[in-house]
Structure 1
Amino acid sequence: MSRTAVIAGQGLLAPAVVAALDDPLVYALDGFAPSVPATRFRLERLVPFLDSLHAEGVGRVVFAGAVRRPRLDPEAFDPRTAQLVPRILTAMQSGDDAALRTVLDIFEEHDLAICGVDEILPDLVPGEGVLAGAPSVADRRDAARAARILAGTGPLDIGQGVVVAQGLCLALETLPGTAAMLDFVARHDGLRPDPQGGRGLFYKAPKPGQDRRVDLPALGPDTVDQAAAAGLAGIAWQAGGVILLDRAEAVRRAEAAGLFLWARAEAGT
C-alpha cells in the first residue's frame, strides 16, 4: 500500500491532517515554518524531491496549510528542474491559481495523486446550515451581495474573502490576508452609512473554477475573534467549499460574542 505525503504549510490545518493519517511523511517548503515537524525541500529542486517521494513509497500527496510564493534562486536549480523554469515562472506571473495548477500538474505527471483535505477530514468542510446564532434578513441580503462580489473578483485572483455591510463592500481580502482585512474594518467602523443599521458580515468562498484539492479557504476560532473585534454580526461562507478548523471552539467563541456562523448554500447566490 502506498504512503501519503503531506506538504505542510502554516496554520492549524497541517497538524489536523497529519493527526488523521496513518504514518504520513511530512514535508515543507524551505523558508516556511509549519507547526508540525517536517522535512524541508526547495522548489528549485522539485524533480529530485518528487523522485525521493517515489523512493519512500509515496503514492498520494496532500497540501495542507498556508504557503506564499517562495523566492526562487536561479543558481539553486538542478538540471532537470531547470527545464521546468519557464513553465513555473509563467504560471507564477499569472496568479496563485495558475501557479498551484501548474504545481499540481507536475506532481501528477510524476505519477503522484493529489488528495484533497476534504477526502481525509470531510467534517472539516461543513455542509449547508447555521452553526451558531441566527443571521437576520439584512445579513442574508449582505451574504448574497458578498457572494456576487467574490464571484466577480474571483477570476482576477485577488482573494477569497470580503466584508459587506448594508449592501456595501467595506473590504476585500488581498495578499495580506484575512486578519489584515478584518483589522482594517475594525479601524474604520464609521464606514457604515446607517450607524443603527446592519453590522455586516465576513464572507468567504473559493474562487470560481478553483481546484478544490488545494488552497480551500479556511476559517477558525481566531477568525471569529477578529470578526467580533471588527464589529460584525457574523461570518458566512460557501457551504462545502470552506474549511472550518476546530469547529467546537469556533462555535463556542461565536456564541460568546453573539456572532452567527453560517454555511450558506451556493445556489442562494
Structure 2
Amino acid sequence: MSRLAILCGGGTLPVTLATAHPDAMCVVFEGVSHDMPGDVFSHRFEKMGGLFEALKDGGVTRLVMAGGLGRPPLNPAEFDAGMMAIAPRLMPALQGGDDAILRLIIAVFEEQGFEVVGAHELLDGLTAEEGLLAGPEPSKQAMQDASRAADILLALSPLDVGQGAVVAAGLALGIETLQGTDAMLRFVSETPDHLRRGKGVFLKAPKRGQDLRVDMPAIGPDTVRAAAKAGVEGVVVAAGRVVVLGRSQTLAALEDTGLFLLSRVI
C-alpha cells in the first residue's frame, strides 16, 4: 500500500492534510514553526540522508510539502552523508529564489524514488474555481488593474520574485518579495492618499512555469483582512492555481470586509 508523508511547515494546510489522511507520516523540521498536534516525526534539515531512510522504513512512497518552511540556517558541519551529496547543488540554489530551491528539493526526493504530489491533488475543493466567489461585481477599473497586476507578475516570473501584486488605476503599489504577502499589504496600507488614484486590487498567482506541487500560492481569511486594511477593492486569484485556506472563514471575512473575490484564468 502506498503511504503518504506530509512534510509540514507553518499554517493550517498541513493540519488539514493530516486530518484527511490520518495514516500519513507527518514530518516537522527543527527551526520551523508548525501547528501540528499529536504524534509527529521531528527532523533536521542537515540530516536529509536520515530522513530518506526514515521515510522508506515507514513505507512512504508519496510525499507532499505543505505550509511555510522558510529558509532555516544550515550548519554544514552537521551534514550527514545524504546532505553532503546534495550540498553541491543546494548551495547555488540557495543564492536564487524559492522556485530554484523547491525545484531542487522535488528532484532530490524523486531521485530517492518518492512521488511528489501537490496538496491540491489530495484535497478536493482546495483551489478556487473560475468565477466570482464572493462580494460585489468588480468594477471595470478593477478588472483592468487585475490584468495589469498579472502582466507585472508574468514579467517578473523569470526573476523568481513573488506571487502577488497590488495595482490601483494602473499604478503598481506593491509587489510581493521574500517578506511575503502580509508585509506587502502592510506596505500598501501605508501608502499616502496623494499617491493613490483609486482602491485597486490585490492579485495572487503562481509564477510562470512554477511547479504547483510545492509552494502553490495561497490566500486565507487573514489575507482578506490585510487586503481590506490595504484599501483595495477586492482580491483576484488565478483559477485552479491558488489555494483558498479555510474557505468558510475566508468567505466570512469577505462578507465582513465587503471585498470581492474573483477567480480568473491567468
Give TM class, smaller chain.
over 0.9
Q: Which whole-Å CA distance do the structure 1 matches of 2:23 and 2:153 have between them? A: 38
User: CA offset at residue 79 of structure 1?
Assistant: 2.6
Q: Which whole-Å CA distance do the structure 2 matches of 1:141 and 1:95 have between them? A: 29
Matches within 5 A, 1:17-36: 17-36=17-36
User: CA offset at residue 258 of structure 1?
Assistant: 1.1
Q: Would you say how many aligned residue pairs link Structure 1 and Structure 2?
A: 263
- Assess if the C-alpha contact under 8 Å between 1:147 and 1:203 holds in 2: yes
- Assess if the C-alpha contact under 8 Å between 1:189 and 1:230 holds in 2: no
Alpha-carbon displacement from aligned partner over 1:65-94 (angstroms, at most 9, x marks no partner)? 011122110110113321221111122223
Q: Which whole-Å CA distance do the structure 2 matches of 1:189 and 1:259 have between them? A: 21
2:14 aligns with 14
Which runs of 5 or more residues in structure 1 are unaligned?
A: none
Q: Which whole-Å CA distance do the structure 1 matches of 2:235 and 2:167 have between them? A: 11
2:259 aligns with 259
What residue identity is the alignment partner of 1:81? M
Residues 155 and 81 of structure 1: CA distance in aligned 2, closer, same or farther (over 3 Å): same
Alpha-carbon displacement from aligned partner over 1:227-246 (angstroms, at most 9, x marks no partner)? 11111111001111100011
Alpha-carbon displacement from aligned partner over 1:97-123 (angstroms, at most 9, x marks no partner)? 111111111101111110111111130
1:239 aligns with 239
Matches within 5 A, 1:180-219: 180-190=183-193, 192-194=195-197, 198-219=198-219
Alpha-carbon displacement from aligned partner over 1:35-68 (angstroms, at most 9, x marks no partner)? 0043221221112211110001001001110111
Matches within 5 A, 1:86-97: 86-97=88-99
- Assess if the C-alpha contact under 8 Å between 2:236 and 2:264 holds in 1: yes
User: Identity over aligned residues, as a percent?
Assistant: 44
What residue identity is the alignment partner of 1:245? L
**TM-score if structure 1 supplies the norm length?**
0.94
Q: Which whole-Å CA distance do the structure 2 matches of 1:58 and 1:122 have between them? A: 22
- Assess if the C-alpha contact under 8 Å between 1:135 and 1:234 holds in 2: yes
Residues 245 and 191 of structure 1: CA distance in aligned 2, closer, same or farther (over 3 Å): farther
What residue identity is the alignment partner of 1:258? G
User: CA offset at residue 253 of structure 1?
Assistant: 1.4
User: CA offset at residue 28 of structure 1?
Assistant: 1.5
2:49 aligns with 47
What residue identity is the alignment partner of 2:185? L
Q: Which whole-Å CA distance do the structure 2 matches of 1:95 and 1:258 have between them? A: 35
Corresponding position: 1:102 with 2:104: yes
Root-mean-square deviation over aligned CA pairs: 1.2
